[in-house]
Amino acid sequence: MICICLGKPSVEACKNLAADPQGSGHRFHLVEIRIDGAPLSPDEIRHIFSLPLKMIATCRPETSFYSREERKNALMTAISHGAAYVDIEIEADTPYKNEIIRHAQAHSCLVIISYHNFETTPPRVELEKIVNRCFEEGADIAKISCMTRSTGDCGRIMALYDSEPGINGKIVAIGMGKNGKITRVAAPILGAPFTYASISDGNETAPGQIDMSTLTSLVKHF
Protein backbone atom coordinates (compact mmCIF):
# COMPACT_ATOMS: atom_id res chain seq x y z
CA MET A 1 0.00 0.00 0.00
CA ILE A 2 1.01 3.58 -0.59
CA CYS A 3 0.41 6.17 2.10
CA ILE A 4 0.52 9.74 0.86
CA CYS A 5 1.58 12.42 3.33
CA LEU A 6 -0.32 15.65 3.64
CA GLY A 7 2.11 18.03 5.30
CA LYS A 8 -0.14 21.09 5.41
CA PRO A 9 -3.64 19.65 5.72
CA SER A 10 -6.84 21.61 5.31
CA VAL A 11 -10.47 20.55 5.21
CA GLU A 12 -10.65 21.50 1.54
CA ALA A 13 -7.54 19.53 0.56
CA CYS A 14 -8.81 16.45 2.40
CA LYS A 15 -12.25 16.76 0.82
CA ASN A 16 -10.57 16.85 -2.60
CA LEU A 17 -8.65 13.67 -1.79
CA ALA A 18 -11.83 11.97 -0.63
CA ALA A 19 -13.48 12.94 -3.92
CA ASP A 20 -10.55 11.50 -5.93
CA PRO A 21 -9.35 8.34 -4.16
CA GLN A 22 -7.43 7.28 -7.25
CA GLY A 23 -5.20 10.31 -6.87
CA SER A 24 -5.57 11.43 -10.50
CA GLY A 25 -4.84 7.91 -11.68
CA HIS A 26 -2.11 7.12 -9.14
CA ARG A 27 -3.78 4.95 -6.55
CA PHE A 28 -3.12 5.57 -2.85
CA HIS A 29 -4.54 3.53 -0.01
CA LEU A 30 -3.86 5.66 3.04
CA VAL A 31 -3.30 9.33 3.92
CA GLU A 32 -1.09 10.59 6.73
CA ILE A 33 -2.56 13.81 8.07
CA ARG A 34 0.26 15.85 9.58
CA ILE A 35 -1.81 17.81 12.06
CA ASP A 36 1.40 19.53 13.19
CA GLY A 37 1.72 21.13 9.74
CA ALA A 38 -1.25 23.49 10.08
CA PRO A 39 -3.12 25.35 12.84
CA LEU A 40 -6.30 23.26 12.70
CA SER A 41 -9.20 23.89 15.03
CA PRO A 42 -10.89 20.98 16.84
CA ASP A 43 -13.86 21.34 14.45
CA GLU A 44 -11.55 21.12 11.44
CA ILE A 45 -9.86 18.00 12.84
CA ARG A 46 -13.29 16.43 13.43
CA HIS A 47 -14.35 17.28 9.88
CA ILE A 48 -11.18 15.90 8.30
CA PHE A 49 -11.21 12.58 10.15
CA SER A 50 -14.93 12.10 9.46
CA LEU A 51 -14.24 12.03 5.72
CA PRO A 52 -14.35 8.68 3.85
CA LEU A 53 -10.57 8.25 3.78
CA LYS A 54 -8.32 5.79 5.59
CA MET A 55 -6.06 8.10 7.61
CA ILE A 56 -3.09 8.20 9.96
CA ALA A 57 -3.23 10.95 12.57
CA THR A 58 0.21 12.41 13.28
CA CYS A 59 1.16 15.47 15.33
CA ARG A 60 4.90 15.81 15.85
CA PRO A 61 6.22 17.59 18.97
CA GLU A 62 8.37 20.05 17.03
CA THR A 63 5.23 21.85 15.82
CA SER A 64 4.89 25.51 16.72
CA PHE A 65 1.09 25.38 16.44
CA TYR A 66 0.22 23.20 19.43
CA SER A 67 1.19 22.71 23.05
CA ARG A 68 1.70 19.21 24.47
CA GLU A 69 -1.89 19.10 25.72
CA GLU A 70 -3.24 20.43 22.43
CA ARG A 71 -1.28 17.78 20.50
CA LYS A 72 -2.72 15.04 22.69
CA ASN A 73 -6.26 16.40 22.34
CA ALA A 74 -5.85 16.75 18.56
CA LEU A 75 -4.81 13.11 18.23
CA MET A 76 -7.60 11.91 20.50
CA THR A 77 -10.15 13.94 18.52
CA ALA A 78 -8.85 12.38 15.30
CA ILE A 79 -9.16 8.91 16.82
CA SER A 80 -12.72 9.58 18.02
CA HIS A 81 -13.76 10.65 14.52
CA GLY A 82 -12.38 7.83 12.43
CA ALA A 83 -8.57 7.75 12.25
CA ALA A 84 -7.45 4.26 11.19
CA TYR A 85 -3.99 4.76 12.75
CA VAL A 86 -2.39 7.12 15.23
CA ASP A 87 1.37 7.78 15.17
CA ILE A 88 3.09 8.44 18.50
CA GLU A 89 6.80 9.21 18.82
CA ILE A 90 8.80 6.69 20.84
CA GLU A 91 10.29 9.62 22.82
CA ALA A 92 6.87 10.71 24.09
CA ASP A 93 6.47 10.51 27.86
CA THR A 94 4.67 7.46 29.23
CA PRO A 95 1.46 9.15 30.52
CA TYR A 96 0.97 10.95 27.15
CA LYS A 97 1.62 7.75 25.22
CA ASN A 98 -0.56 5.52 27.38
CA GLU A 99 -3.55 7.84 27.35
CA ILE A 100 -3.55 8.00 23.55
CA ILE A 101 -3.00 4.23 23.25
CA ARG A 102 -5.95 3.47 25.54
CA HIS A 103 -8.16 5.83 23.54
CA ALA A 104 -7.01 4.25 20.27
CA GLN A 105 -7.73 0.74 21.52
CA ALA A 106 -11.22 1.80 22.59
CA HIS A 107 -11.90 3.06 19.05
CA SER A 108 -10.32 0.21 17.03
CA CYS A 109 -7.54 2.55 15.89
CA LEU A 110 -4.14 0.92 15.31
CA VAL A 111 -1.12 2.41 17.06
CA ILE A 112 2.11 3.26 15.26
CA ILE A 113 5.04 4.00 17.55
CA SER A 114 7.72 5.74 15.53
CA TYR A 115 11.45 6.33 15.86
CA HIS A 116 13.13 9.03 13.76
CA ASN A 117 16.85 9.72 13.52
CA PHE A 118 17.65 12.65 11.23
CA GLU A 119 21.41 12.32 11.66
CA THR A 120 22.42 8.69 11.17
CA THR A 121 21.41 5.02 11.02
CA PRO A 122 22.30 3.26 14.28
CA PRO A 123 23.88 -0.21 14.37
CA ARG A 124 21.52 -3.13 13.70
CA VAL A 125 21.55 -4.31 17.32
CA GLU A 126 20.38 -0.88 18.46
CA LEU A 127 17.70 -0.73 15.77
CA GLU A 128 16.38 -4.13 16.82
CA LYS A 129 16.18 -2.95 20.43
CA ILE A 130 14.20 0.09 19.30
CA VAL A 131 11.77 -2.10 17.35
CA ASN A 132 11.28 -4.33 20.38
CA ARG A 133 10.70 -1.29 22.58
CA CYS A 134 8.01 -0.04 20.19
CA PHE A 135 6.07 -3.28 20.59
CA GLU A 136 6.67 -3.46 24.34
CA GLU A 137 5.15 0.02 24.68
CA GLY A 138 1.97 -0.90 22.83
CA ALA A 139 2.62 -0.55 19.10
CA ASP A 140 0.61 -2.46 16.53
CA ILE A 141 3.15 -1.19 13.99
CA ALA A 142 6.73 -0.07 14.62
CA LYS A 143 8.02 2.66 12.33
CA ILE A 144 11.78 3.17 11.96
CA SER A 145 13.01 6.09 9.88
CA CYS A 146 16.72 6.96 9.80
CA MET A 147 19.02 9.15 7.74
CA THR A 148 21.00 6.95 5.35
CA ARG A 149 24.42 7.87 3.99
CA SER A 150 25.56 4.54 2.52
CA THR A 151 24.37 1.23 1.11
CA GLY A 152 25.30 -0.29 4.49
CA ASP A 153 22.81 2.01 6.21
CA CYS A 154 20.10 0.90 3.78
CA GLY A 155 21.01 -2.73 4.32
CA ARG A 156 20.64 -2.42 8.10
CA ILE A 157 17.25 -0.81 7.73
CA MET A 158 15.93 -3.41 5.30
CA ALA A 159 17.31 -6.27 7.42
CA LEU A 160 14.82 -5.30 10.14
CA TYR A 161 12.02 -6.95 8.17
CA ASP A 162 13.63 -10.30 8.96
CA SER A 163 14.83 -9.53 12.48
CA GLU A 164 12.10 -11.25 14.50
CA PRO A 165 9.64 -14.11 13.83
CA GLY A 166 6.13 -12.83 13.22
CA ILE A 167 7.21 -9.26 12.50
CA ASN A 168 6.02 -9.36 8.88
CA GLY A 169 3.34 -6.75 8.30
CA LYS A 170 4.06 -5.01 11.61
CA ILE A 171 7.05 -2.82 10.75
CA VAL A 172 7.71 0.08 8.40
CA ALA A 173 11.47 0.63 8.10
CA ILE A 174 12.63 3.35 5.73
CA GLY A 175 15.73 5.42 5.09
CA MET A 176 15.70 9.17 4.75
CA GLY A 177 17.83 11.11 2.31
CA LYS A 178 18.81 10.41 -1.29
CA ASN A 179 20.51 7.12 -0.43
CA GLY A 180 17.39 5.85 1.33
CA LYS A 181 15.04 6.05 -1.64
CA ILE A 182 15.50 2.35 -2.41
CA THR A 183 14.16 1.46 1.05
CA ARG A 184 10.93 3.31 0.29
CA VAL A 185 10.40 1.27 -2.87
CA ALA A 186 11.45 -2.00 -1.21
CA ALA A 187 9.36 -1.57 1.97
CA PRO A 188 6.07 -3.12 0.74
CA ILE A 189 7.97 -5.84 -1.11
CA LEU A 190 9.79 -6.82 2.08
CA GLY A 191 6.60 -6.93 4.14
CA ALA A 192 5.78 -3.39 5.28
CA PRO A 193 2.02 -2.77 5.49
CA PHE A 194 2.57 0.48 3.58
CA THR A 195 5.24 2.89 2.37
CA TYR A 196 5.14 6.68 2.44
CA ALA A 197 5.04 9.05 -0.55
CA SER A 198 4.62 12.78 -0.99
CA ILE A 199 1.39 13.90 -2.58
CA SER A 200 3.42 15.58 -5.34
CA ASP A 201 6.98 16.57 -6.17
CA GLY A 202 8.06 19.46 -3.92
CA ASN A 203 5.65 18.58 -1.11
CA GLU A 204 7.81 16.09 0.77
CA THR A 205 7.39 15.71 4.52
CA ALA A 206 10.73 13.90 4.98
CA PRO A 207 14.12 13.99 3.21
CA GLY A 208 14.23 11.61 0.25
CA GLN A 209 10.48 11.02 0.11
CA ILE A 210 9.35 10.03 -3.38
CA ASP A 211 6.27 11.57 -4.95
CA MET A 212 3.15 9.43 -5.33
CA SER A 213 3.24 9.29 -9.13
CA THR A 214 6.86 8.10 -9.28
CA LEU A 215 6.51 5.65 -6.40
CA THR A 216 3.35 4.14 -7.89
CA SER A 217 5.20 3.54 -11.16
CA LEU A 218 8.16 1.93 -9.38
CA VAL A 219 6.19 -0.31 -7.03
CA LYS A 220 3.84 -1.70 -9.70
CA HIS A 221 6.79 -3.36 -11.47
CA PHE A 222 7.33 -5.73 -8.51
Active-site residue list: 116, 143
CA-to-CA distance for 48 and 12, rounded, in angstroms?
9
151: CB partners within 8 A, 6+ apart: 179
Give the bridge partners for 113, in sequence order: 88, 142
Give the closest residue to 32 by CA, choosing from 66, 3, 60, 72. 3
* One-character DSSP codes across 77-139: HHHHTT-SEEEEETTS-HHHHHHHHHHHHHTT-EEEEEEEESS----HHHHHHHHHHHHHTT-
**How far out from the chain centre does Cα 50 lie?**
19
End-to-end CA distance of the chain: 13
Give the Cα-Cα-Cα angle 92, 59, 145 (nearest 5 degrees).
70
Kind and range of the H or E element at 191?
none
